Amino acid sequence: MSVAERLGLKIGSRNIKLPSNGIFGGPQEVTVRPFVTIDEKFIAGIDEYTGEKSIQNLAKNVVTNAPLNIDDLLDADILFITMIAKCLTYSDIVQTQYLCGQCGTANDKTVNLFDFETKLLQDRSFTTILPKSGLEITYEILTIGKKNKIETEMNQKYQLMNKTVDLSELEVRQLASAITGIKKDGEEVEVTLDEKFEVINTLLTKADMEKWADDMMEQDVNPVFDYEDICSNCGTLNKNRLAMTIDFFFTGISKVQSLPLEDF
């Protein structure tokens, strides 16, 4: 019997569905507990340089039903788990603010984060047809494990060259690794990873990249909260989105800006 059971303590945990939806072999659902003192001390020590890895470790600590293998998850899962832990610890009420699309008045809005549904990933891979090059690209959303693997490989390569990793090159390398297939005029073209890198760097136009980024955003499962609200000044109905980012974790329950839905 654990000390918690002997003392009759129950900490208010919550079962949540994870955005990655078990598609990469991770769990579909986990149990999240609120932060305790040791987590709070850990959080106080997180800085912007170690932030990402630290928050991954924090997520591992607050999931109580089974060990969490970060490699099989998406960044969105980590954000969601830590966001829920934060809500369980402090409050699920968030103060947000938006500017009225009609008159520009700043309106305050209170939202309850537990009222929203989790957006779940529907598929492992997606297809986009790029406008200028006419290429049809099939791509995957990269798991944390895949992203880390690419970063490690790049670090090793750059170490041999006595240089530090170029961040934009890392992004392109991750993008190249996400490609699972390329078709031209309906015909599959066989390309190696280095060639995918070359395709992105030298054959795709800005318009191609924008289209691809838009399509990826469509599939994005980062937690977002859509709501409607009537402007206190002019009575216009505004449709807004509160998008959760890692900033939410640090700035927390203070005011988080919402944007008009059509901006996404």
* Positions in the binding site for Zn ion (CB under 5 A): 100, 102-103, 105, 231, 233-234, 236
The backbone region for 50, taken as left when phi is positive above 0, alpha when psi lies in -120 to 50, beta otherwise, is alpha
Count of residues for the chain?
264
Tell me whether residue 98 or residue 225 sits nearer to Zn ion (CB atom).
98
Tell me whether residue 103 or residue 259 sits nearer to Zn ion (CB atom).
103
E-assigned strand segments in the chain: 14-17, 29-32, 93-99, 106-112, 125-129, 135-140, 179-184, 187-188, 224-230, 237-243, 256-257, 259-260
Tell me whether residue 159 or residue 236 sits nearer to Zn ion (CB atom).
236
Tokens 């015909």 correspond to what residue?
187
Minimum CB distance to Zn ion, residue 240 (Å): 12
Tell me whether residue 105 or residue 112 sits nearer to Zn ion (CB atom).
105
Angstrom CA distances, 193 to 143, 153, 179, 185, stand at: 17, 13, 9, 21
Tell me whether residue 102 or residue 257 sits nearer to Zn ion (CB atom).
102
Kindly state the greatest CA–CA separation across the chain: 68
Q: Running DSSP on this structure, what letter comes out for residue 215? A: H
Minimum CB distance to Zn ion, residue 255 (Å): 18
Minimum CB distance to Zn ion, residue 235 (Å): 7
**SS3 (DSSP) at 262:** helix
Q: Running DSSP on this structure, what letter comes out for residue 254? A: S
CA 241 – CA 253 distance, rounded (Å): 16
Minimum CB distance to Zn ion, residue 259 (Å): 15
Tell me whether residue 207 or residue 237 sits nearer to Zn ion (CB atom).
237
Tell me whether residue 246 or residue 261 sits nearer to Zn ion (CB atom).
261
Minimum CB distance to Zn ion, residue 116 (Å): 24
In sign, the C-alpha dihedral spanning 127, 130, 133, 139 is negative
Minimum CB distance to Zn ion, residue 159 (Å): 55
CB distance 237 to 260 below 8 Å: no
Minimum CB distance to Zn ion, residue 134 (Å): 44
> In the β-sheet with 187-188, what is the strand arrangement from edge to edge?
125-129, 135-140, 179-184, 187-188
